[in-house]
Amino acid sequence: MNILAIETSCDDTAVAIVRCKNDFKNLQTKVLASEISSQIKIHAKHGGIVPNLAAREHEKNLAVIFKQALKKAKIKQKDFEKEIALIAVTKGPGLQPALLMGLNFAKALAYFTNKPLIGVNHLEGHIFSCLIDFEKEKNNDINLPAVCLLVSGGHTQLYEIKSWDDISLKGETLDDAAGECFDKIAKMLKLGYPGGVFVSKMADQFILKNKNYKKQFNLPRPLIGSKDFDFSFSGLKTAVLYLIQKLKKEKSFTQKTKSQICFEAQEAICEVLVKKTLNLAEKSKAKTIIISGGVSANKRLRTLFEEKIKNDYAFFAPDLKMTTDNAAMIAVAGYYQWLKNKKDDPLSLEVDLTL
């Protein structure tokens, strides 16, 4: 069946059409269209996402991106009712004004065309991003059990996937998300938004030029030794803040020390993420480790995983385009709920910030 999906939880207006077949274990997906209008340039001026501004941009862009997606999928407007079997939309978590725009659009569309509507958990979408490929048809080739590290701007979570019907949250951040930590450090260093991209660029350039660099700042690796699967990044952020203050006082806050901070902070974040994921993989007797979400684009994180995993687990890191928010993953999450006989009422579906 063809699923039309809409995603507006944050700063990307995204519409996708995905063909899904079979039960989840034998899932076959084909992305017919995945259109995204990014607002990064608009929010970068403000150093972070402004929710009302995001909503205004979604309102401006949704109809246009929707039409663009139909065109890309070669579905004529008059054939919409015949070609599209289900509408999926992100209902949370995310920014309320932004979510409302996508939800309203999807509700009106579903009501008008008499199509079933499913409100989707955005995080479920990120988990399922391992089941799509923007370029080609894809069969579900993930060997279970698996663990999934979901690292985005707002979430850092570890899931155990025993079977496709048994996915459970095993740990998450107690305070800041890893992406948020990258973003806040970038803000302290006045590097730009989204912070993770800038911090990782500076870190990678630094280590390339200073191959034998020995760590100097002793930044904390919060909860790295704890037996649970939770994370905490606010202490690391504060440690970086104090370090910057100290360097400024000593008049040694330079371009070089800024790069050193980027490198050392990235090491600290990645080491914790990898260690905790491997702990869960071992406990779950996992065959596969999956990473997803914006931070999973981080090169150092991928390399560290590859180094530590060796041949013990299959490793799935999504295509870079798939790490950030998109609607194709929302379509797959919608299909997942559809297979469970879930449906929402187009007139009463609401944003759900409790997810």
Tokens at 140, concatenated: 């579900």
Side chain identity, residue 145: P
> Does 121 help bind Zn ion (rule: CB under 5 A)?
no
Evaluated on CA atoms 189, 194, 199, 205, the torsion sign reads negative
Q: What's the min distance (Å) between Cβ of 31 and ligand KG4? A: 18
> Does 125 help bind ligand KG4 (rule: CB under 6 A)?
no
Angle subtended by helix axes 96-113 and 51-72, to nearest 10? 40
Q: What's the min distance (Å) between Cβ of 174 and ligand KG4? A: 18
- Residues whose CB is less than 8 angstroms from the CB of residue 85 and which lie 6 or more positions away in sequence, other chains included: 1, 2, 3, 115, 116
Q: What's the min distance (Å) between Cβ of 124 and ligand KG4? A: 12
Report which secondary-structure segment, H or E, holds 112: helix 96-113
The listed partner (ligand KG4, Zn ion, none) that binds 194, CB under 5 to 8 Å by sort, is ligand KG4
Site for ligand KG4 in 270-329 (CB under 6 A): 293-295, 297-298, 324-325
Q: What's the min distance (Å) between Cβ of 133 and Zn ion? A: 18
- Of 100-108, 194-202, 205-213, 222-230, the window that binds ligand KG4 (rule: CB under 6 A) is 194-202
The listed partner (Zn ion, ligand KG4, none) that binds 61, CB under 5 to 8 Å by sort, is none
> Does 292 help bind Zn ion (rule: CB under 5 A)?
no
Per-residue DSSP letters for 39-69?
-HHHHHTTTS--HHHHHHHHHHHHHHHHHHH
Quick check: 13 and 57 in contact, CB under 8 A? Answer: yes
The site string for Zn ion over 134-153 (x = CB under 5 A, - otherwise) reads ------------------x-
- Of 67-75, 97-105, 150-158, 221-229, the window that binds ligand KG4 (rule: CB under 6 A) is 150-158
Q: Which is nearer to Zn ion, 262 or 290 (CB)?
A: 290
Phi, psi of 25 (to 5 degrees): -60, -35
> Does 194 help bind ligand KG4 (rule: CB under 6 A)?
yes
Straight-line distance from the first to the last Cα atom of the chain, in angstroms, rounded to the nearest whole number: 27
Q: Which is nearer to ligand KG4, 173 or 324 (CB)?
A: 324
The listed partner (Zn ion, ligand KG4, none) that binds 125, CB under 5 to 8 Å by sort, is none
Burial class, 26, CB count within 10 angstroms (exposed 0-12 / middle 13-18 / buried 19+)? exposed
Site for ligand KG4 in 251-270 (CB under 6 A): none
Q: What's the min distance (Å) between Cβ of 232 and ligand KG4? A: 17
Helices assigned H by DSSP within 134-254:
178-188, 195-209, 234-249
Residue 292 backbone class (left: φ over 0; alpha: ψ -120 to 50; beta: rest): beta
Q: Which is nearer to ligand KG4, 83 or 183 (CB)?
A: 183
Cβ count near 253 (within 10 Å) = 17
> Does 325 help bind Zn ion (rule: CB under 5 A)?
yes
| The only residue of 92, 97, 125, 153 in contact with ligand KG4, by rule CB under 6 A | 153
Q: Which is nearer to ligand KG4, 18 or 297 (CB)?
A: 297
> Does 93 help bind ligand KG4 (rule: CB under 6 A)?
no
Residue (of 151, 41, 178, 39) closest to 95 by Cα position: 39
Q: Which residues bind Zn ion (CB under 5 A)?
A: 152, 325
Q: Which residues bind ligand KG4 (CB under 6 A)?
A: 10, 152-154, 179, 182-183, 194-197, 200, 293-295, 297-298, 324-325
